[in-house]
A and B are shown apart, each in its own frame.
Chain A
């Protein structure tokens, strides 16, 4: 009897932990991709790549890029006429997206680096 109960308990624990895990997984998948309008979003520059390369946000979100490379990078949002200064290691650049649309950007020093911000 004891064995059966513990088995059932174990099964419930497993279910609970699975639910928790899938909930966490869902949160992990959604959180970085969709930021709330009063929120801010973070973008990393690492090994000559923007991460994530495609970021989806809602209008009014402030996006901050942080350069984690040993080499300076910059952010050039041609469609918006926005050009950051060169960011040395650990330096950041922030921009608030107030218009909806898809905005492609590049690094002004290494234009083969491409990123995209989708504003909904």
Chain B
């Protein structure tokens, strides 16, 4: 494992979960690490920001959290009650648990109530019916292929990718050639100074191969973004916060608003992870991402539902 904190290698990532270097700092409150960029979080309060929610799993009803609609609503409430309201919302997938119409309806209802523009990408739980049509009928308008797209906001180029279709025996997420070709073209004309935000459900980098927590051709996608000065990659799927910085690329995964999952190397499997009564909300939450006018990655502040 390299000891260069500015360039931690991929294999060393898990050991670097409590990494503190460059401009990123971890503070632990109530057992929950929160991250922000030193000295910039406050400055960003007045700037452009957006919020990320993930893995609401509407329809999940097991004892770990029998009220996932309630905790999702609470998370959205945190976002809308911010003094400096985020410009929009990104949901990084697994809106529903089983892709049923009823679960999508609940999601649409709760998201619409925020009155915030919402951008989504599907998780594998959102495309369980009709080859993903139940997702695309609601969220596929103006997208390509299985639902990928890009848009610009406040000078930032946002790219929503789909890596949950055609999961193969290697166990990892997959983007596929059609999407990779589209991505290469999509960023071709952009000046290298454009800040890039990529969001997808499964982590684009290999977090933990044994549990399929990574994207097989994620490296190929990132190679098209190498020349850009600031790239932020936002993912969900693993129901816990993990971060690393590699060169100009900041990787970040969000908490779920429904239930926590086990920690790789500690838990015996990747399923819902039971937590002591009364502590659930420490493990669920939202992320707020602010644009700061420096060359460093965007500032990300993770907020648990409780605390």
User: CB within 8 Å of B: which residues of A?
Assistant: 47-49, 69-72, 74, 78, 85-86, 88-89, 104, 106, 108-114
Contact of A109 (CB < 8 Å), options: B62, B125, B211: B125
Query: Are A48 and B171 within 8 A (Cβ)?
Result: no
Q: Which residues does B use to contact A, with CB under 8 Å?
A: 62, 64, 97-99, 124-125, 128, 167-172, 209-212, 268-272
- Measured CB to CB, the closest approach of chain B to A73, in angstroms, equals 10
With A85-B128, A89-B62, A112-B211 known as contacts, the answer to whether A70 contacts B171 (CB < 8 A) is no
Q: Is the CB of B64 within 8 A of A70?
A: yes
Say yes or no: A111-B170 contact (C-beta < 8 A), given A69-B271, A70-B62, A89-B62.
Answer: yes
A48, A72, A104, A108: the one contacting B269 at CB < 8 Å is: A48
Most buried by A among B125, B212, B268: B212
A-B contacts, 25 of them at CB < 8 A, read A47-B269, A47-B271, A48-B211, A49-B269, A69-B271, A70-B62, A72-B125, A86-B99, A88-B98, A89-B62, A104-B169, A108-B167, A109-B124, A109-B125, A109-B128, A110-B212, A111-B168, A111-B169, A111-B170, A111-B171, A111-B172, A112-B171, A112-B209, A112-B211, A112-B212
The minimal Cβ–Cβ distance linking B65 to chain A, given in whole angstroms, is: 10
A74–B62 CA distance with the chains assembled, in angstroms: 18
The chain B residue sitting closest to A104, CB to CB, is B169
Mostly helix, strand, loop or mixed at chain A's interface? loop
- Of all chain A residues, the one with the shortest Cβ separation from B174 is A111
Contact of A106 among B62, B169, B269 (CB under 8 A): B169
Instruction: List 4 tightest A-B contacts by C-beta distance, closest first.
Output: A112-B171, A112-B212, A47-B269, A86-B128
Contacts of A89 in B (CB 8 A): 62
| Nearest A residue (CB) for B271 | A71
State A89–B271 Cα separation when bound (angstroms): 12
User: Smallest Cβ distance from B265 to chain A, in angstroms?
Assistant: 15
